[in-house]
Structure 1
Amino acid sequence: AKGARIARPGEYTQRAFMNGKMDLSQAEAVADLIASTTRASQKVAIQQMRGGFSSEISALREQLLHFIALVELELDFSEEDVEFADRRQLRSLVDQIVRVVTRLKDSYRLGNVIKNGIPVAIVGETNVGKSTLLNALLNEEKAIVSDIHGTTRDVIEDVVNIQGTAFRFFDTAGLRETSDVVESMGIERSYRKLREASVILLVVDTTAPLPRILDRIYAIRDLIDEQHLLITANKLDIGSAETIQGLRELPLKENEHLVFLSAKRREHLDELISRMQETVSLERIGEEDTIVTNARHFEALSQAYESLQRVQAGMDQQLSGEFLAQDIRECLQYLGAITGEISNDEVLGHIFKHFCIGK
């Protein structure tokens, strides 16, 4: 047909957004749904496409508009000493908004895991079987497997969908003292990934003496904070009976688990996978739960949170409404950027909608 052309990438979704059929966050959810690889990420993307997240943002903006309308009305009638709202009620409203923004902002930690996979760092001394374990989990040869110490000289990253859950594995260089410049750079990157991971798979060699393994466990405990530590006792098929028994008697902390396996023979991998899945209970996500998965949304919510904190501080210091209104407007802009509905006339329209200036 004359004038026909191939649609540009995302053109139909863009037209839907421009014509008001969906907001910006819903449009982004379309792309997230297409790219989703797990049930959890699909569930969250569909919930956002249906407007669940948008509704929460719209409700927040409506409350903020009500707040700023009251404040600006007081400024307009300041000479008449008219009070349109009790300051305690306004503070209660702001506190309520802060709680919602905080909940949404904090949900990004889980949302990022849902979208990009649970970050799992595989760490341990050289030649304990880290690459063999990763290959067993991925079911393919991604890392170099060798009997030579220090073969894995960098962080090898892979994302794999295991039983409906996405895991982002970092197979790190062996953490040890070394004079090799290239290997030492890989070890430094390993420490960075260790801090970024939600789950630490500490691989230990059960053929090694127990005191050496315990020293490694204590050292890793000192390096991590709130991450889940899965002590993976490898080479169970050829391990020392004394070492294995000593590990079984090891007292574990609340966020720690001990799994015995043989990566080479791929034995007891299911138990390890179950333990990894337990660290993030994606099954508990309900249809109505709002989970932030988009980095842009998280940044906007973080900035909105900072604006609201300034409002709270200003109210504590009994600053005039003029200063409070400035931070509220800023917060409205950040929230509006999420859904793409920023309008300079919104505040004025809200005032005329809810109040009769002539009376």
Structure 2
Amino acid sequence: MSQILLKEDTIVALATPNGVGAIGVIRLSGPDAIVIANSVFKGKDLTTQASHTIHFGNIVDDDVVLDEVLASIFVAPRSYTRENVVEISCHGSSYIIESIIKLFIKRGARGAKPGEFTLRAFVNGQLDLSQAEAVADLIAANSKASQQVAMQQLRGGYSSELKQLREQLVTFASLIELELDFSEEDVEFANRGQLKQLVVDISKMISKLIQSFELGNAIKLGVNTVIAGRPNAGKSTLLNALLNEERAIVSHIAGTTRDTIEEVLNINGINFRLIDTAGLREATDTIEAIGVQKTLEKISQSALLLYVFDAQTLTAEEVQQDIAQLLHPGLPVLAIANKTDLLPNSSLAADFILPNAVKLIAVSAKQKQHITELKQAIYNHAVNGQLAGDETLVTNIRHLEALQKTEEALTRVLHGIDNPIASDFLALDIKQALHYLGEITGIVTTDDLLDNIFSKFCIGK
């Protein structure tokens, strides 16, 4: 295991954000956490107190009172790390916090490394690796949906699914291993028909998890949503209407927006990174040409395209030409007919026939008409019915890669069943599938993997 894991010392760090605040929470974890805290705490004897109790007292350094604090006691194994843990709630002065941490270090504690508390929780069996990563995702969650997905993974929903899959595979792997012990007698303990059905069922579940990554990653990082169209189509006005604030400069002069403007819009708990772009046309100067090039680059990187056009001036043929130029495989597109308040009876011409993948929505950005319907359409395009109930979503690229490798190994197992191969080769492919599934939850780990994962955590967690 990693050198970090071999240490049995007591660590200390600030668990709340750096900076001045009302309070700061300093966390100690390790075999001597309660003893070290008690050595500088004037109040009750912390070493004799029950777990999950809070005590008022002073932190004292050589008879000098540093602060009045509350000390929370968590006795092993009933703590986040399954070690003795003490959390000191003190006043939020950076001087006080630094002084108390230095005092704990002087009394035998060591400054914690990034993620070391959660690493200890993983090593001590409090969390599996996917749950530990969910802790970091929960801390970084910036929307309701990302918080819900991280919380579901932290509670073990994702882990329990993988555990069930792995246990079923282990059963067959053990039977095939048994066959190897009786190879000279040419017997089969593992029913190939049952094994094939199991692998097919597991492959379907793995495939579903892999497909969920697109939405899971969008929830975690936000959905890149580009607003594009010709000059004066009302793109900036639409951005302002969606945000309900005057974020972008609006002018009747074509080409006002020459660089991209990015803002975040939260719809039903999901963040959409709205990117207002320069109008698409033949550039009249170098700066505008750069803006148009940036627009095309942003479209190529987007997860959703909002194509905006002036319903009053653009013909159906021109709209179709624009969409054909911007559309690329796999990119969802909403065609937004703007300025419909200026049309007779506010209706669109019947000849706006668009590709099946493109939905047409009529709005008036200036008058803020049908903006609510547009927001719902944007949300529906991103979620596509997947965000319902307790659906498991993959949000971690490491998990995605492991699932893809598991799927490849299972494909080889199916091939080996359909084209009978020796039991030892079949067992090898099953073992590889088990290995990659185990990498996700931490049943299979390496020092480099653990160091890479936990080094991305904040200190104090």
TM tier, smaller: 0.7 to 0.9
Deviations 1:304-348 (A, max 9, x none): 11222222223333222232233322222221111111179xxxx
Contact 1:234–1:263 at 8 Å: present in 2 too?
yes
More helix per residue: 1 or 2? 1
Which residue in 1 is equivalent to 2:210? 105
Instruction: Tell me the TM-score normalized by structure 2.
Output: 0.65
Contact 2:146–2:270 at 8 Å: present in 1 too?
no
Instruction: Tell me the TM-score normalized by structure 1.
Output: 0.81
Which residue in 2 is equivalent to 1:58? 163
The whole-number CA distance in structure 2 between the counterparts of 1:191 and 1:124 is 11
Contact 2:340–2:347 at 8 Å: present in 1 too?
no
Q: Which has the higher contact order (CA 8 A, sep 6+)?
A: 1
Deviations 1:215-234 (A, max 9, x none): 22344156244544322222
Contact 1:194–1:224 at 8 Å: present in 2 too?
no
Residue identity opposite 1:340 in structure 2: G
Q: CA deviation at 1:21?
A: 0.3
Q: CA deviation at 1:256?
A: 3.8
Contact 2:172–2:190 at 8 Å: present in 1 too?
no
Structure 1 segment 173-252 matched on structure 2, within 5 A: 173-178=278-283, 183-184=288-289, 186-208=291-313, 210-211=314-315, 214-221=317-324, 223-237=327-341, 239-241=342-344, 245-247=347-349, 250-251=352-353
Deviations 1:15-68 (A, max 9, x none): 211211001111111222222233222222111111111111112222222232
Which residue in 2 is equivalent to 1:17? 122
1:305 to 398, 404, 407: 407
More strand per residue: 1 or 2? 2
Contact 1:43–1:287 at 8 Å: present in 2 too?
no
Q: Percent identity?
A: 49
Alignment coverage as a number of residue pairs: 340
Query: Structure 1: which 5+ residue stretches go unaligned?
Result: 345-359
The whole-number CA distance in structure 2 between the counterparts of 1:140 and 1:107 is 33
Q: CA deviation at 1:105?
A: 0.9
The whole-number CA distance in structure 2 between the counterparts of 1:32 and 1:230 is 30
Query: Structure 2: which 5+ residue stretches go unaligned?
Result: 1-39, 41-106, 447-461
Residue identity opposite 2:198 in structure 1: L
The whole-number CA distance in structure 2 between the counterparts of 1:114 and 1:283 is 14
Q: CA deviation at 1:146?
A: 5.0
- Residue 5 to residue 283, structure 1, CA distance change in 2 (3 Å): farther
Contact 1:159–1:169 at 8 Å: present in 2 too?
yes
| Coordinate RMSD, CA, aligned | 3.1
Contact 2:129–2:440 at 8 Å: present in 1 too?
yes
SS at 1:279 equivalent: helix
2:374 to 263, 267, 272: 272
Q: Between Structure 1 and Structure 2, whose CA radius of gyration is higher?
A: 2
Deviations 1:260-319 (A, max 9, x none): 333344443222112212324588744432111122211211121122222222333322
Structure 1 segment 1-359 matched on structure 2, within 5 A: 1=40, 2-4=107-109, 7-140=112-245, 142-143=247-248, 145=250, 147=252, 149-178=254-283, 183-184=288-289, 186-208=291-313, 210-211=314-315, 214-221=317-324, 223-237=327-341, 239-241=342-344, 245-247=347-349, 250-251=352-353, 255-281=357-383, 285-342=387-444
